[in-house]
Chain A
Amino acid sequence: MKELKLMKGNEALAEAAIRAGCDAYFGYPITPQSEVLEYLSREAENRTGMVILQAESEVASINMVYGAAGTGKKVMTSSSSPGVSLMQEGISYIACAELPCLLVNVNRGGPGLGTIQPSQGDYFQTVKGGGHGDYKLIVLAPSTVQEMADFVDEGFELAFKYRNPVMILSDGALGQMMEKVELQAQKERVTMPGLDAWATIGKPVNRDHNVITSLHIQPDKMEEINIHLQKKYRTIEENEIRVEMINCDDAEYIITAYGLVARICTKAAELARDKGIKVGVIRPITLFPFPINEIAEAAGKVKGILDVEMNAGQMVEDVRLSVNGKVPVEFYGRMGGIVPTPEEILEAFEEKLLGGAK
């Protein structure tokens, strides 16, 4: 049965994991996402028998995910920026070994120990790699508590569809703030189909043993694996782009932003429209695959684009590559855990694209 509740983003995500029929969660406390582990520790085992384990570090938890994901179970972990940095080696292994799993980063301000406030400073780490080698995560960027919950089930679907790790890239504000959320009905925990083809579940007499590895010592074999991965990523790019276009049809200008910032920008665009300037917002929901064509197409119809992020300018590089010089792409960002207001975004927009306030 569906249910309407008022919940914190982190708790909504944890609740959604239980309801999605997730089999196991391995994690380590770190602010601002510890509620995920806390909520699951309270709720999960009694309700569905889901395995919850507090590991000794993020290094251990990501490797527990590697082991458990290798059995074809629905497994996940969550952390925040410094913890996710510690997981990067494991994520690279998981991507190469093509293990389906769900990772969550409730992004806080960096670099270093940084702050515990919201940030989008991990865009590069999440979208461009983070760990070693050529690999891609499927990246979902929620902008509401509702999406924090919805992307859990959707993330698992994508992870198993492509046998690829999926990352929900959230931020400290979304994790902590409370909103109304509609929770989906409880799904049963099920054994996924086709595991005998790849998973380490115990070898029946009549099949060859399954090996999960990212080691292929012969360069030609390793290149083959890379080509295979790249082909998969191209398929993902063809099929899985999700993007929200807000009031773009008649827009003269576009603001690009993802996650929580996109909501603030939507408000800023409304303020602009109040002043008679037609501004639309493009919100990439998947950061990989990135909505290159949607942005390129929109760029053909407008005079300029402002990209807004809670970082020093990371996604703006992908926006610029998509726009490919057609129109100016300006950037406005706040760092260190500061969330911009609609008013300051409008001011930045006017200054950077209109040459001053209208």
Chain B
Amino acid sequence: MNEKTMLDDDHYENVIREESVCTSENLVYERPETLLDTPLHYCPGCGHGVVHRIIAEVVDELGIQEETIGVAPVGCAVFAYNYLNIDMSEAAHGRASAVATGIKRVLPEKYVFSYQGDGDLAAIGTGETIHTCNRGENLLIIFINNGIYGMTGGQMAPTTLPGMKSTTSPFGRDVKSMGAPLKITDLVAQLPGTYYVTRQSVHKPANVRKTKKAILKGFQFQKENKGTCFVEVVSNCPSNWKMTPLESNKFLEDQMLPFYPLGDLKNPERKEK
């Protein structure tokens, strides 16, 4: 804000004229083919949009748009199918990995992924998550963990941090009566069916690049029929955390990451070395 008001109008116009006009020569960043030209409904600063873009970029780079089928969850990302230009199925709450299993079993040559939030994947859909991973279904599960129910307006999630306030833990999550946060990614990493399990974030450019690599790997391993790949993205919810996007990224780094440390929980490539 301050920066903007310090600049005079002339300067602005020059910037627009000289730097902001896209030509084929200076174009360094564009909408991936797999991302539809639809304005995202996500709140400003929310991680969902970034992860959508990453998926679209990876699908483009692998050239698999025609062979990829996605499954959307119930939650803020319920409309993921409005943004991703691939065939998609919208699952009932928690059932995305069962729906993805159904698709993958009858179309084993396609790339199938589910995109799920914490309430969807780690509360109502825990059973499906565990058994999908345990069977080692050849699909990619992308798990957005922001420790809160976004779409329904900020209720406690299975991953809400101890002491963290939500509309249903207004005095902070009391682990004695509400249970401790469920580290489902650690759990699925224990299952023989999972092949690659990692926890990433998208709150900084370097992390965005790492998440992209993880999702890319998830699709590549799927081609090799390796088993379930599971990519957790520790994300934010500025709206329901009641923070600005910047504050939410700080909270993510200071509070979420110590509890949900980033890195691979299971990486076959590393084992082989």
Residues of A within 8 A of B (CB): 23-24, 26, 51, 53, 55-57, 59-61, 63-71, 73, 75, 89-90, 93, 97, 199-205, 209-215
Contacts and interface: CB of A to CB of B under 8 A. Distances in A.
B99 A66 contact: yes
A201 B95 CA distance: 19
Contact of A63 (B68, B69, B72, B102): B102
B67 interface: yes
Nearest to A89: B92
B66 interface: yes
Nearest to B80: A211
Contacts of A210: 87-88
Contacts of A75: 102, 106
A57 B105 CA distance: 17
Interface in B127-149: 127-128, 131
B189 interface: no
A61 to B, nearest CB: 8
A75 B127 CA distance: 22
Contacts of B69: 71, 200-202
* From A23, A202, A204, A210, residue with most partner B Cβ within 10 Å: A202
Interface in B61-104: 65-69, 71-72, 78, 81, 84-92, 95, 98-103
A220 B98 CA distance: 30
B107 A51 contact: no
Given A24-B106, A67-B89, A209-B86, A60 B66 contact: no
Interface of B: 65-69, 71-72, 78, 81, 84-92, 95, 98-103, 105-107, 110, 127-128, 131
Contacts of A204: 66
Closest 10 CB pairs of A and B: A67-B102, A64-B102, A67-B99, A213-B90, A68-B102, A63-B98, A63-B95, A200-B87, A56-B131, A67-B103
B106 A23 contact: yes
Given A67-B101, A75-B102, A205-B66, A59 B85 contact: no
Contacts of B110: 201-202
A67 B71 contact: yes
Given A200-B103, A209-B88, 12 more contacts: A24-B106, A56-B131, A63-B91, A64-B99, A66-B92, A199-B87, A202-B110, A203-B87, A209-B86, A211-B90, A212-B89, A215-B78
Given A60-B98, A214-B90, A71 B103 contact: yes
9 contacts: A53-B101, A60-B131, A63-B99, A63-B128, A73-B106, A75-B106, A89-B92, A202-B66, A211-B89
B86 A203 contact: yes
Contacts of B128: 56, 59-60, 63
A69 B89 CA distance: 11
A66 B105 CA distance: 12
Contact of B90 (A26, A202, A215): A215
Contacts of B95: 59-60, 63, 66, 90
Contact of B127 (A60, A66, A203, A215): A60
Given A89-B92, A211-B81, A213-B90, A57 B127 contact: yes
A128 B115 CA distance: 34
A328 B84 CA distance: 60
A144 to B, nearest CB: 31
A75 B255 CA distance: 46
A211 B90 CA distance: 7
Contact of A68 (B68, B87, B88, B103): B103
B13 to A, nearest CB: 39
B62 to A, nearest CB: 13
B105 to A, nearest CB: 5
A75 B106 CA distance: 9
Contact of A66 (B67, B86, B102): B102
* From B71, B86, B103, B128, residue with most partner A Cβ within 10 Å: B103
A103 to B, nearest CB: 14
Nearest to A200: B87
B178 to A, nearest CB: 24
Contacts of B91: 63, 66-67
Nearest to B114: A67
Contacts of B71: 67
A228 B175 CA distance: 48
Nearest to A94: B92
